[in-house]
Amino acid sequence: MLFARTDIEGESPPPAAEQLEDLAGREVFSSETTYPKGTEVFGEGEEANFVYRIATGAVRTYKLLSDGRRQINAFHLPGDVFGVEDGMTHRFTAEAIVKTRLRMIRRSSLFDKATTRITADTNKLISLASRNLRHAENHILLLGRKTSRERVAAFLLEMDQRLGHPHEMILPMNRRDIADYLGLTLETVSRAFSLLRDKEMLQFDESTHRQLRLLDRKGLARFDA
Amino acid sequence: MLFARTDIEGESPPPAAEQLEDLAGREVFSSETTYPKGTEVFGEGEEANFVYRIATGAVRTYKLLSDGRRQINAFHLPGDVFGVEDGMTHRFTAEAIVKTRLRMIRRSSLFDKATTRITADTNKLISLASRNLRHAENHILLLGRKTSRERVAAFLLEMDQRLGHPHEMILPMNRRDIADYLGLTLETVSRAFSLLRDKEMLQFDESTHRQLRLLDRKGLARFDA
DNA sequence: CGACTCCTTGACAGCGTTCAACAGTAGTGG
DNA sequence: CCACTACTGTTGAACGCTGTCAAGGAGTCG
């Protein structure tokens, strides 16, 4: 919808490699840097000053939960470009899986060449798309590494926040929808709701079961890993 | 990296609502359409001719596996804009969860107003970003609804394809990395590898365990739901 | 009122995790 | 070059979280 044409994932392997070189020109790449196996290329939350292209080797990008559970978002292989962010900071940590040679390009040179031409209107469309991407990335962590209770707590907090922290919220979706969103069964979701009710972090109408009040948002946040 | 500024998810609720109206002007919206509870707004694979904004109600977007397992990607609430695609077709099905009023905007009018101004260079950056999004969406389905064996088969096929279907491939990552990518433990991944080896869909070097050959790609694809 | 949907709860099963043992490989330093 | 250690991968056994199956109640709608 947003853009004119794109390659279908998995059909014709997209020449992402050339795209970036094309875009920025060889001269803006610093000479290749070598990262030994296990080395961090950049950390989650760090300022995103560069975009990277893999010459040889491989890179993993991942998020961590506080207790160390790790969710790898993607593997990057020779030719792949990674570290393209829509904000000022990286949303992942990136590490070399094996000895890896990377070419870097300054964020600023990308801006000069391409992004400054983007109009305000376009930026709005893009921000819609990047919102989707951030949401998807967080959901990957949830689905890959969180327990059923953590997922339900996260869901409640997400809805609460999107509705502007109302005193009471009425969920439009049923338990099966929530389950299919969280990668669970409706019974597991129901049990998690009951548990949170019993722990007095949550209160819900016994007849409709859709109208609810968050009694302890801090507690729920603690529940959500 | 790509764009100048974005709002942080969950901090200041982003005024996505106004953005689209802003962008396209009220007049390009057709009058509101009402979708009864359970109605499909658009189907996966359908041509993406419109973008939607919710006036009242709620919408779910989801993907299905062949046997009916469903993964809901996102819920959309009043003010939310959805159906923004980077290709010609929708990658999800969208359904009204409750009686829902939607405003629609033609894809073409968005293009006229904003997207045609995007330069070729910018399009390349954008295609990098949208590649990420598609990958993330597929990964959500995998993590939410696939079994361990389906996940491992999907992983093998992904690597095979990205490496251009080589006769033999050497994985740079260890079993733990694969596990953390697929939302499993390394033991489960190892067992799935052994199973696929025993079924003669796969062959791997008994010493390094990294060098492998896909013997039956069709069979693996069948394994991958 | 009857059929249907939705939610909860209980009992049990099973998939994937956890814990553990073992073996082969790679890297290190004497 | 060889011990020594760390790392990696496989496999087995037992556990447990979540799924499956089932029953029942309460709300909704024609």
Q: Which amino acid is at B61?
A: T
How many H-runs (helices) and E-runs (strands) does chain A carry?
7, 11
Residues of B whose CB is below 8 A from A1: 48, 51, 83-87, 107, 110
| A88-102 per-position pLDDT tens digit | 999 999 999 999 999
Which two three-digit tokens encode residue B141? 């389905």
The distance of B198 to chain A (nearest Cα, Å) reads 27
Half-sphere exposure of A150 (CA within 13 A, CB side): 15
* Option in B73, B84, B98 nearest A129 (CB): B84
Instruction: For residue A108, name the pLDDT band (cuts at 50, 70, 90).
Output: confident
Greatest Cα-to-Cα distance within chain B, rounded to the nearest angstrom: 67
In the predicted model, what is the mean pLDDT of residues A182-190?
98
Question: What tokens appear for B204 in the block?
Answer: 């791997």
Sheet holding A169-170, edge to edge: A169-170, A211-214, A202-204
Q: Which residues from 188-207 of A have any strand D atom under 7 Å from their CB? A: 188, 207
Of the pLDDT bands very low, low, confident and very high (cuts 50, 70, 90), residue A125 is confident
SS (H, E, C) A175-196: HHHHHHHHCCCHHHHHHHHHHH
Percentage of chain B exceeding pLDDT 70: 82
Q: Give the distance, in angstroms, between residue B52 CA and nucleotide D6 C1'.
A: 56
Q: In the structure, what pLDDT confidence band is assigned to residue A120 with cuts at 50, 70 and 90? A: low
Q: What is the mean pLDDT of residues A23-43?
A: 79
CA–CA distance, A47 with A166 (Å, rounded to integer):
34
A138-151 residue pLDDT tens? 999 999 999 999 99
Q: What is the mean pLDDT of residues B133-151?
A: 98
Q: Which residue is nearest to nucleotide C9 (CA to C1')?
A: A191
- Please tell me whether residue B117 adopts helix, strand or coil conformation: helix
B10 confidence band (pLDDT: 50, 70, 90): very low
CB contact under 8 A, B87 and A6: yes
- Contact state of B143 with A107 under an 8 Å Cβ cutoff: no
Cα–Cα distances in Å, from B52 out to A93, A185, B20? 34, 29, 9
Q: Number of A:B CB contacts under 8 A? A: 255
Strand partners, B76: B59
pLDDT bracket for residue B124 (50, 70, 90): confident
Task: Give the tokens for residue B39.
Answer: 């109605």
Stretch among A22-36, A73-87, A97-111, B117-131 having the lowest mean pLDDT = A22-36
Asked whether the CA dihedral B119, B125, B128, B133 is positive or negative, the reply is negative
Nearest CA in chain B to A163: B77
Residues found in chain A: 225
Distance of A209 CA from D27 C1′ (whole Å) = 10
Nearest to A162 by CA among B43, B10, B135: B10
pLDDT in the model for residue A4:
44
Residues 125-184 of A with CB under 8 A from B: 125-140, 143-145, 158-159, 161-164, 172-173, 177, 180-183
Is the pLDDT at B27 greater than 70? The verdict is no
Smallest CA-to-CA distance from A38 within A127, A121, A99 is with A99
Say if residue B18's pLDDT is above 80: no
> What single-letter amino acid sits at B146?
K
Enumerate residues near strand C (beta carbon within 7 A): A 174-176, 186-187, 189-191, 193-194, 204, 209-210; B 147-149, 183-185, 187-188, 191, 207-208
Nearest to A122 among B98, B114, B159 (CB): B114
Query: Residue B128's pLDDT is what?
Result: 87
Q: What is the rounded distance in angstroms from the CA atom of residue A176 to the CA atom of residue B58?
A: 15
- Contacts of A65-68 with CB under 8 Å at 24 or more apart are A65/A141, A65/A145, A65/A146, A65/A225, A66/A225, A67/A225
pLDDT on residue A7: 36
User: pLDDT, tens digit, for every residue of A207-225?
Assistant: 889 999 999 999 999 999 8
Cβ A89 to strand D below 7 Å: no
Confidence tier at B19 by pLDDT (50, 70, 90): low
Q: Given CA atoms A104, A107, A108, A113 in this order, what sign does their dihedral have? A: positive
- What is the model's pTM? 0.91
**pLDDT score for B117:** 57
pLDDT at B6 (0 to 100) = 37
Cross-chain residue pair B138–A9, CB shorter than 8 Å: yes
**Of all helices (H) and strands (E), which one includes residue A211?**
strand A211-214
pLDDT for residue B13: 39
Residue bearing the bigger pLDDT, B29 or B175:
B175
